[in-house]
Amino acid sequence: MKREVYLDNSATTRAYQEVAEKMQEVLCRSYGNPSSLHRKGLEAEHEIREAKRILAKLWKAEEKEVFFTSGGTEGDNLAIIGAAKAGRRRGNHLITSCVEHPAVLQAMAALEEEGFSVTYLPTDPKGKISLAQLEEALTEETVLVSLMHVNNEIGTVQPVEEAGRLIKQKCPETLFHVDAVQSYGKYELFPKLEKIDLCSVSGHKIHGPKGVGALYIKNGVKLRPLLYGGGQQKDIRPGTENVPAIAGLGVAAQKIYEGRKSKTEKMRKLKSRLSEGIKSLPDTVLHGGEGEESAPHIVSAGFKGVKSEVILHALEEQGIFVSSGSACASNHPRISSVLKAIGAKAEYRESTLRFSLSEFTTEEEIDYTLENLYNIIPMLRRYTRR
């Protein structure tokens, strides 16, 4: 029987068994509408409150600061567009980086069409912004700064704690949004301590369900809602809550932070093993930072001379599942804007794969992947040269 090695955890993760069990329980027993006043409605409302309690505790936040969304994309859009429009009387300037997720970049582009001015911070070759350039870009007109904590393609960690302090020192009124979709569960993130006003996370990146996420909104921060409806979630995000998914998100958040340090240490060791093995192949490059500058679970590697989709499907034939960059854009092949932004050489831009690990990844799976890469890459290069 062919082995199955799943190394696309930045695209989505396998749900914890406890998540699936909780969702089934809610679907079949606590199935009431949480806005209903009867007992079945109160049971559903209890599930939402429990998930909110878990996330608030992990963020060291107040429960009233936790809002549920349909995922990272909606969370990013609600934070960015909602904050920009709510704060327009104060200014019309926004700041982000060139290596953000499309959910951020396209939200910014939409706001530019409405007359907002956006500064896109460049990065160094590892994908890291300059705090000095951030400080220079900040003005009294800056309504919002939005930065991702961990880059979804190359794993680079942005200095969000230092950025938060800098923003509040220079422009106390400017809001700070952090896209923590790829870092949640891998790093501790305490928004109040790190001067973060808005923070978005997604369920299916942490062994939870798809179609659900959470947005931290600091008490007192005003957002213009994207949706209008029945008044749920203080009118910030109306619509009947997805109770099974919210309950599943709560279980996933609780579980992923249990033993977090040992889990991330294990992933970092496996990442090092994979990275060193890939580097031994000729004409191969790793994108992003190393060590603590990079997340413990993402390896981005370019294999000169072979298109990424070709390698991806060759690995798939051996039961190994990886990504040719961000899965959010992989159905629409194009050169990665992140690789362009960090100045990756042209010969590597179309030949890059992303390997992303989870707490379930094993040393045997890494070795099996390397063994296949050592066979596949030289063979594909010989074929390509013909």
Would you state the structure tokens that stand for residue 174, as one six-digit string?
């400017």
Angle at CA of residue 162, ends 149 and 301, nearest 5°: 35
Number of H helices, E strands in the chain: 12, 12
Task: Name residue, tokens 């499907």.
Answer: 313
Catalytic center residues: 328
Are 30 and 241 a contacting pair, CB within 8 Å?
no
What crossing angle do the helices spanning 72-86 and 102-113 adopt, rounded to 10°? 30
Distance between first and last Cα of the chain? 33
Stretch (H or E) spanning 66: strand 66-69
Name the 3-class secondary structure at 135.
Answer: helix
Q: Which residues contact 7 (CB under 8 A, 6 or more apart)?
A: 320, 321, 322, 355, 356, 357, 361, 365, 369
Are 213 and 203 a contacting pair, CB within 8 Å?
yes
What residues are paired with 294 via a beta bridge? 156
